[in-house]
Structure 1
């Protein structure tokens, strides 16, 4: 350490010492150089310096080498003699071996504590980048997020997002009328991209408990900043997931940290290894997001350091904001390499004693061109510098050492168990079940009503047929030969009885009169009686 800064290195002989001013460390930086030129050692030394002054750090460990930060270096290491000689050459008399407090993280939960976030926290822009969606599909995804938010449907994991997309597909016509075209084809394309995410293991990244930023910004019991090391060797096999995760992490830091302006030292230092993965094939909207976060996160006290093999991998809009620069050797073997050398040479503040373009190709391992911001904010003239050796182990720790460190750190088991609370998937499944039950009940009622109506119709038809049968039977009975004989007999009997009764009445009434009178009166009275009695018998 130096007064107010982190010692980076010096010329051979100790001249022109280079220090990273802590008050300008939040102005970001770039560490570039070809493979094998010493970038990892440079990063390791800068992180050690930040931790020593109480600045927490985050670094993605792409090759596994940076896990060595957790253990002190050893005089028995094969690098000891070279490092001791370099420390003596640059006048670093205080150099000694020491460990750095480390917390290990891993999106897959294999080499560190799991890191999770929710689908809602990731947001449609970063998810669209992660799933490589076009503008139309990104618009449909944004609508799905809006509908979920409006209807209180929590999007926590990939299952929730899958359920939400299916829900939107079922309501495509309605949503198209309200928000614009929501085609089932676009939703299908998003769902296929979602399936690809699952195949890359992204489902391990989404869920709860989500990472609390406070667990990333802590100090140990000695006041040293804790270094969060992300195991990224497996993650690098899914480059879009890697880049999207790191951009999300920076965005989360930006949202959660308060404005502090330019503090005496950074609140946190963020190291983004293999930075070209963030920018490769990135759409304009995403590049604007990256530029915005890098530009504004400075006021939150966060310094972002991009590490890449070629400085031209970083777009000019972002590179222009990187005030602190360490350039290791580049190889000018191809036209692109030669263009990179020239581009890198033009980014440094000129130094009459250094031919930058020539020096870049001549730098040896552990040597770099350094230009850091001065206390007044101006870049220092570029200087050829031997980088100080690290105090921690160079190279990876063993699995057994990693296991002990994970089990004994301050995080404990806070993130180790996945929590699956009620969210969009469960709510929509419950709604679908309720709708299905209501439909089944309505269908059953309709079936019962239809059965009752059919039975009533059958009963009415049967009654009508029975009535018709009775009438036909009556008619048939009335027209049968025996019925006709019976009717004739009845009529004959009635006529005979009527005549006899009438004669008897007439005889009794007129029996005492003259024969003529009796005969005439009898005929009249007999006719009357026969008429009355015939009507009676006919009625029967």
Structure 2
């Protein structure tokens, strides 16, 4: 660390120009690019250490398991120790090994504390992106969110969304005049997409307790910022879930944090590894949202750094927001590779000492072409830079070391156990059960009335047979009395039976069309 900046490295190839990332411009975002195996992970780890020392909390995704080493101090017994010492002597850096305050997170709750959000917090746009829905299907999802909001039904987990979609499908006719036609096939397609998502384990991501962003933005008593590491090795098998989650996290930061303008240092720094996954086959609405967040979130004091193999993976509108850049080697094997290389070189302020395009091809492992914002936010001249070694362990940690870090975080009691409180699924299920019970009771009452009527008719027939065996006067009097009773009773029972039938029909209609009116 230098005062007001993070020392990234020194000059290579005889150019001893120290390179540092100024903290007051760190919220103007950045890019770390380069081919596989050229040193992007080390650069990411070095920047995370620097931000932590400056009291800035950090979030980064650990795609390969390598970044977990930041929780453990480096060692003189490491196989690269001697090489580290030589590099430090070359660039004029005094290396001291140390560990950094780290919290592990995991969407699946296996290699860190569970990370959850609710369906409502995810919102219809990101959820539709996650499910890869068509425009028509996304419209139905928007209808579901609107109905849940109007009726006070909490959408917390996937069961809640599935329940309200069932209700929409059953009442499509009544909803058509207000929201447009909702085809049962469209609802079925969304339900199948939710089932696939659930089978991939994403159901664990939706629920409570939801992540409190304040728990990621802690600064320890020693003044160092907390390093949050998301275990993403398994998550990479579901790249759409990975990209959607990280975009959701950015959106939440944007919505919750207050405006701070240009602070002396960022409030939070976000590293988006494998950034191309965010933009691959993404609809324009989603790319526009990323651009909007990248442009505006800097005023919230949040710096966003994209890590990818090629700068061409990032759309131009987003790339233009990235002021701090570290470009590791690019390999130009094809005509397209050469075009991408030329384009990457054009993004830097030229240095008369060397050709930028040539330098990007020639830099070795651990070396990069760098440009950081200087005074007044002016891009610095491009330099060839030897990136300094990390102070923490380079590479993964053991399972026991990870368990120890997880146990010491203090978040186990808060996040490790899922809570399933009453929400849309429970309320709709309760209403349906109550309506079904009432319908069953009405049907039972109607059946009872029918039995009584049949019993009464049987008794009437017995009375008539008895009257045939008696005197005419007595028979007339008894029959007249019996007929009078029979007419009254039959009329009453008929009315009751009709009332029971209408009640049953009303209840059935309540099941199919009036659940929301019976709150």
TM-score in terms of structure 1 length: 0.85
Name the structure 2 match of 1:79. 80
- Superposed counterparts of 1:86-485, under 5 Å: 86-92=87-93, 94-457=94-457, 459-460=459-460
Deviation of 1:464 (Å): 6.0
Report how many aligned residue pairs link the two structures: 472
Given that 1:370 and 1:382 are in contact with CA atoms closer than 8 Å, whether structure 2 keeps it comes out as: yes
CA–CA distance in 1 between the matches of 2:469 and 2:297? 97
Deviation of 1:256 (Å): 1.1
Name the structure 2 match of 1:492. none
Deviation of 1:439 (Å): 0.4
Measured against aligned partners, the alpha-carbon deviations of 1:272-298 in whole angstroms (never above 9, x if no partner) come to 000000111111111111111111111
Given that 1:6 and 1:49 are in contact with CA atoms closer than 8 Å, whether structure 2 keeps it comes out as: yes
Name the structure 2 match of 1:19. 20
* Other structure's SS at 1:97 match: coil
TM-score in terms of structure 2 length: 0.88
* Other structure's SS at 2:77 match: coil
Given that 2:327 and 2:368 are in contact with CA atoms closer than 8 Å, whether structure 1 keeps it comes out as: yes
CA–CA distance in 2 between the matches of 1:96 and 1:456? 100
Given that 2:71 and 2:102 are in contact with CA atoms closer than 8 Å, whether structure 1 keeps it comes out as: yes
Given that 1:30 and 1:322 are in contact with CA atoms closer than 8 Å, whether structure 2 keeps it comes out as: yes
Given that 1:354 and 1:384 are in contact with CA atoms closer than 8 Å, whether structure 2 keeps it comes out as: no
CA 1:321/1:458 → structure 2, altered by over 3 Å: closer, same or farther?
same
Name the structure 2 match of 1:28. 29
Name the structure 2 match of 1:527. none
CA–CA distance in 2 between the matches of 1:284 and 1:260? 29
After superposing the two structures, state which structure 1 stretch, 412-421 or 129-138, moved more.
412-421
Deviation of 1:467 (Å): 6.5
Name the structure 1 match of 2:67. 66
CA–CA distance in 1 between the matches of 2:376 and 2:354? 23
After superposing the two structures, state which structure 1 stretch, 215-224 or 175-184, moved more.
175-184
Deviation of 1:183 (Å): 1.5
Deviation of 1:354 (Å): 2.5
CA–CA distance in 1 between the matches of 2:416 and 2:48? 27
After superposing the two structures, state which structure 1 stretch, 418-427 or 445-454, moved more.
445-454
Deviation of 1:182 (Å): 1.5
Given that 1:14 and 1:90 are in contact with CA atoms closer than 8 Å, whether structure 2 keeps it comes out as: no
CA–CA distance in 2 between the matches of 1:419 and 1:143? 27
* Other structure's SS at 1:271 match: strand
Deviation of 1:221 (Å): 2.0
Aligned CA-pair RMSD: 1.8
* Other structure's SS at 1:261 match: coil
Given that 1:113 and 1:406 are in contact with CA atoms closer than 8 Å, whether structure 2 keeps it comes out as: yes
CA–CA distance in 1 between the matches of 2:291 and 2:186? 29
CA–CA distance in 2 between the matches of 1:271 and 1:468? 100
CA–CA distance in 1 between the matches of 2:172 and 2:295? 39
Measured against aligned partners, the alpha-carbon deviations of 1:150-181 in whole angstroms (never above 9, x if no partner) come to 11111111111111111211111111221112
1:9 partnered with 2:9: yes
Given that 2:263 and 2:301 are in contact with CA atoms closer than 8 Å, whether structure 1 keeps it comes out as: yes
Given that 1:28 and 1:323 are in contact with CA atoms closer than 8 Å, whether structure 2 keeps it comes out as: yes
CA–CA distance in 1 between the matches of 2:181 and 2:348? 50
Given that 2:15 and 2:384 are in contact with CA atoms closer than 8 Å, whether structure 1 keeps it comes out as: no
Given that 1:6 and 1:50 are in contact with CA atoms closer than 8 Å, whether structure 2 keeps it comes out as: yes
Mark the runs of 5 or more structure 1 residues left unpaired by the alignment: 473-540
CA–CA distance in 2 between the matches of 1:174 and 1:339? 56
Name the structure 1 match of 2:481. none
CA–CA distance in 2 between the matches of 1:369 and 1:455? 98
Given that 1:31 and 1:325 are in contact with CA atoms closer than 8 Å, whether structure 2 keeps it comes out as: yes
CA–CA distance in 2 between the matches of 1:317 and 1:180? 35
Measured against aligned partners, the alpha-carbon deviations of 1:246-278 in whole angstroms (never above 9, x if no partner) come to 001111111111110110000000000000001
Given that 1:98 and 1:392 are in contact with CA atoms closer than 8 Å, whether structure 2 keeps it comes out as: yes
CA–CA distance in 2 between the matches of 1:467 and 1:237? 88
Deviation of 1:459 (Å): 4.8
Name the structure 1 match of 2:45. 44
